[in-house]
């Protein structure tokens, strides 16, 4: 219909026209959430697959806004590690980021607010780079600065989104593997799941631009769920950029989240 056509045009034009500085602060941007689809992969722990969670325009913006900010990734405690050989970049809040934050919070229901989200983190992998098996939730034993994280900053990570921002056409490898979650059985999953992996490896999602996985990290009593163990498998060729959206149990201090320049109206 005419209306549908208009919506598509509006969703695509504003970011592209912006003010051209790549900061997403052009005043023409209007947040329009894409009609992404969701499917449950596992109910315990909860793991949901989302198709079309990030639009092509949002992905292009995330890439250009983070281009110069990548540094060798750290793990808990702020240290470099052979466990995680990727580069990461934190991206400041701008209208596009705000829009993605709003979507990520809304997906989790009315009891989760945008103020519980950590600053969004992009992760870039070049060939051979990977992130070995880990959980995203903090355990005070493994994290040198867990006290800082837990006390002042909203507690533990209740959930994670990992979305694929960029996957070069020659990319091989680079799936996201959950060894303790059973792979779904129906062959229709094979468009997003690597069905060539042996079943004892659990489930491996192939990196597909715009799609995302969401999972719950904690049990109802707040303790970490070890079954959420996962890895960013080595990229064997090409490049992969993903984004982490982590939600805490409570609102984060402004010193962590940054002043909210784009409050909800």
Ligand X SMILES: O=C(O)CCC(=O)C(=O)O
CB-based closest residue to Fe ion:
136
Q: Is 84 within 8 Å of 219 (Cβ atoms)? A: no
For 208, the 3-state DSSP assignment is coil
Distance of closest approach, residue 256 Cβ to ligand X, in angstroms: 18
Judged by CB, which is closer to ligand X: 55, or 217?
217
58 closest CA partner among 27, 31, 87, 92: 31
Going residue by residue from 86 to 125, which x/- string records binding to ligand X, judged by CB under 6 A? -------------------------------------x--
- Residues between 126 and 145 with contacts to ligand X, criterion CB under 6 A: 131, 136
242 binds ligand X (CB under 6 A): yes
Beta bridge partners of 90: 121
The window from 7-15, 58-66, 128-136, 169-177 that contacts Fe ion (CB under 5 A) reads 128-136
Q: Provide the minimum distance between the beta carbon of 134 and Fe ion in the complex, in angstroms, as a whole number.
A: 6
Alpha-carbon gap, residue 7 to 32, rounded angstroms: 9
Segment 189-218, which members bind ligand X (CB under 6 A)? none
Nearer to Fe ion, 57 or 194 (CB): 194
Which positions ≥6 away from 206 have C-beta within 8 Å? 175, 192, 193, 194
Bond into 45 cis (ω within 30): yes
State which H helix or E strand residue 40 sits in: strand 37-43
Q: Which residues contact 183 (CB under 8 A, 6 or more apart)?
A: 189, 193, 195, 197, 199, 202, 203, 204
**Rounded to whole angstroms, how far apart are CA atoms 165 and 61?**
10
The only residue of 95, 136, 154, 165 in contact with Fe ion, by rule CB under 5 A: 136
What is the smallest separation between the CB atom of 242 and ligand X, expressed in angstroms? 5
> Given the complex with ligand X, which of 25 and 197 has the nearer CB atom?
197
Q: At what angle do helices 56-66 and 95-107 cross, to 10 degrees?
A: 120
**What number of chain residues touch ligand X (CB under 6 A)?**
9
Nearer to ligand X, 65 or 89 (CB): 89
- Residue 118 binds Fe ion, judged by CB under 5 A: no
Residue selected from 55, 85, 176, 204 as contacting ligand X according to rule CB under 6 A = 176
Helix (H) or strand (E) holding 25, with range, is none
Phi, psi (rounded to 5 degrees) for 203: -115, 135
C-alpha span between 19 and 15 (Å, rounded): 9
Give least dist CB 43 to ligand X, A.
21
244 is a site residue for ligand X (CB under 6 A): yes
Nearer to ligand X, 112 or 245 (CB): 245
Which residues make up the interface to Fe ion (CB under 5 A)?
136
* Residues within the interface to ligand X (CB under 6 A): 123, 131, 136, 162, 176, 230, 232, 242, 244
């Amino acid at each position: 219909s005419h209306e549908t056509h208009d919506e598509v045009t509006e969703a695509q034009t504003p970011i592209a026209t912006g003010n051209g500085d790549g900061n997403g602060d052009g005043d023409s941007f209007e947040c329009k959430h894409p009609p992404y689809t969701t499917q449950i992969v596992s109910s315990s722990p909860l793991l949901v697959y989302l198709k079309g969670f990030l639009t092509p325009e949002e992905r292009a913006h995330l890439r250009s806004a983070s281009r110069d900010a990548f540094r060798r990734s750290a793990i808990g405690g702020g240290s470099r590690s052979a466990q995680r050989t990727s580069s990461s970049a934190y991206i400041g809040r701008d209208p596009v980021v705000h829009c993605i934050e709003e979507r990520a919070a809304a997906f989790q229901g009315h009891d989760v607010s945008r103020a519980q989200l950590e600053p969004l983190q992009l992760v870039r992998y070049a060939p051979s780079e990977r992130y070995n098996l880990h959980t995203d939730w903090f355990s005070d034993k493994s994290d040198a600065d867990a006290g800082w994280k837990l006390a002042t900053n909203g507690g533990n990570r209740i959930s994670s989104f990992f979305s694929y921002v960029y996957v070069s056409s020659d990319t091989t490898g680079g799936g996201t593997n959950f060894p303790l979650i059973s792979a779904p059985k129906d062959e229709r999953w094979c468009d997003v799941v690597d069905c060539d992996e042996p079943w004892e490896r659990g489930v491996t999602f192939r990196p597909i631009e715009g799609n995302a996985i969401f999972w719950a990290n904690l049990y109802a009593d707040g303790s970490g769920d070890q079954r959420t163990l996962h890895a960013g498998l080595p990229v064997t060729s090409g490049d992969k950029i993903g984004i982490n959206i982590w939600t805490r149990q409570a609102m984060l201090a402004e010193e962590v989240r940054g002043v909210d320049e784009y409050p909800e109206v």
